[in-house]
Structure 1
Amino acid sequence: MRCNRRSFLAAAGLAGVAGLAGCTSPDEPSDTPTSTESPPVTTVSDPAYDLGVTHDVQNWSEYDPDWSHPTEAPTLDVTTETVIEGLEIPWDLSFAPNGDLFITERPGRLLRYESGTVESVASPDDIVDATAIDVDDEGGWWAAGGEGGLMGNAVHPNYPEVPLVYVFYTYVEAGETLNKLVYYDVSTDEPEMTTVIEGIPGESYHNGSRITFGPENYLWVTMGDAGQPALAQDPSSLAGKVLRMNPDGSAPDGNPDLGGDPRVFTYGHRNPQGITFMPDATPVENEHGPAAHDEVNVLSAGGNYGWDVEGERARTAETYRGTDYARPLVNTGNETWAPPGSVFYTGDAVPSWQNRLVIGGLISQRINLVTVYPTDGEPASAANGGERFDADWMDADYSAVHHTALEDELGRIRHVEQGPDGTLYAVTSNRDGRAQGDQFPREGDDRLVRITPA
Structure 2
Amino acid sequence: MKLMLNQIRIVLIMLLLSTSCYVGLNCGAVSPVVKSRADSVRIGYNTIISNLEVPWQMLWGPDNRIWYSEQNGSISSVNPLNGDHKLMLRIGDYYRKRLGLLSMVLHSRMKENPYLFVYYSFLKDKKAFTKLVRYTWKADSLILPQILLEMPAHTGHMGARLAIGPDDKLMLATGDLTDAKAAQNPNTLNGKILRINLDGSVPEDNPQKGSYVWAKGFRVPQGLTFGAQGLLYTSEHGDATDDEVNLITRNGNYGYPNVTGICDSPAEKIFSASNQVTDPLKAWTPTIAPSSIAYYGSSAIPQWKNSLLVTTLKESDLRILKLNEAGDKIISENIYLDQQFGRLRDVCVSPAGEVFVSTSNHDWNRTNKYSNEKDDRIIRIAPLGKSSAQNEILISNADNAVEKQVLTGKALYNQYCASCHKEDGNGLPGVFPPLRDAEQVLGENKKLIEILLNGISGPIKVKGKEYDQQMPAFGFLKDQELAEIISYVRSNFTRAQSSITPEEIRNLRKLK
TM-score (norm 2): 0.62
CA 1:226 to 1:76, structure 2 compared with 1: closer, same or farther past 3 Å? farther
CA distance in 1, matches of 2:337, 2:255: 31
CA distance in 2, matches of 1:426, 1:399: 22
CA distance in 1, matches of 2:95, 2:226: 31
Shift of 1:364: 0.8
Q: Which residue of 1 aligns with 2:374?
A: 444
SS of residue matched to 1:321: helix
Structure with larger RCO (C-alpha < 8 A, sep 6+): 1
1:120 to 79, 87, 112: 87
1:344 to 284, 295, 303: 295
Matched, 1:360 2:303: no
Shift of 1:435: 4.6
SS of residue matched to 2:119: strand
SS of residue matched to 1:232: helix
1:423 to 354, 371, 379: 354
1:296–1:329 CA contact under 8 A, matched in 2: yes
2:258–2:268 CA contact under 8 A, matched in 1: no
CA 1:195 to 1:96, structure 2 compared with 1: closer, same or farther past 3 Å? same
Q: Which residue of 2 aligns with 1:317?
A: 264
Shift of 1:209: 1.2
Structure 1: tracts of 5 or more residues without a match:
1-71, 130-144, 378-396
1:206–1:270 CA contact under 8 A, matched in 2: yes
2:321–2:330 CA contact under 8 A, matched in 1: no
Q: Which residue of 2 aligns with 1:385?
A: none
CA 1:215 to 1:270, structure 2 compared with 1: closer, same or farther past 3 Å? same
Aligned length: 340
Q: Which residue of 2 aligns with 1:58?
A: none
What percentage of aligned pairs have identical amino acids?
29
SS of residue matched to 1:317: coil
Matched, 1:302 2:232: no
Q: Which residue of 1 aligns with 2:146?
A: 194
SS of residue matched to 1:221: strand
CA distance in 1, matches of 2:258, 2:177: 16
Deviations 1:27-65, CA, capped at 9 Å, x for gaps? xxxxxxxxxxxxxxxxxxxxxxxxxxxxxxxxxxxxxxx
1:366-445, aligned counterparts within 5 Å?
366-373=317-324, 398-435=329-366, 438-445=368-375
SS of residue matched to 2:314: coil
Shift of 1:167: 0.8
Moved more, 244-253 or 318-327: 318-327
Shift of 1:291: 1.3
CA distance in 2, matches of 1:435, 1:374: 39
1:92 to 57, 60, 64: 57
2:135–2:142 CA contact under 8 A, matched in 1: no
CA distance in 1, matches of 2:161, 2:38: 29
Q: Which residue of 1 aligns with 2:45?
A: 80
CA distance in 2, matches of 1:86, 1:373: 39
1:96–1:157 CA contact under 8 A, matched in 2: no
CA 1:73 to 1:123, structure 2 compared with 1: closer, same or farther past 3 Å? farther
- Report which of the two has the higher share of helix: 2
Shift of 1:433: 4.8
TM-score (norm 1): 0.69
CA distance in 1, matches of 2:158, 2:38: 34
CA 1:252 to 1:108, structure 2 compared with 1: closer, same or farther past 3 Å? same
Matched, 1:229 2:194: no
Find the structure with the greater CA-based Rg.
2
1:104-143, aligned counterparts within 5 Å?
104-114=69-79, 116=82, 117-129=84-96
1:361–1:413 CA contact under 8 A, matched in 2: yes
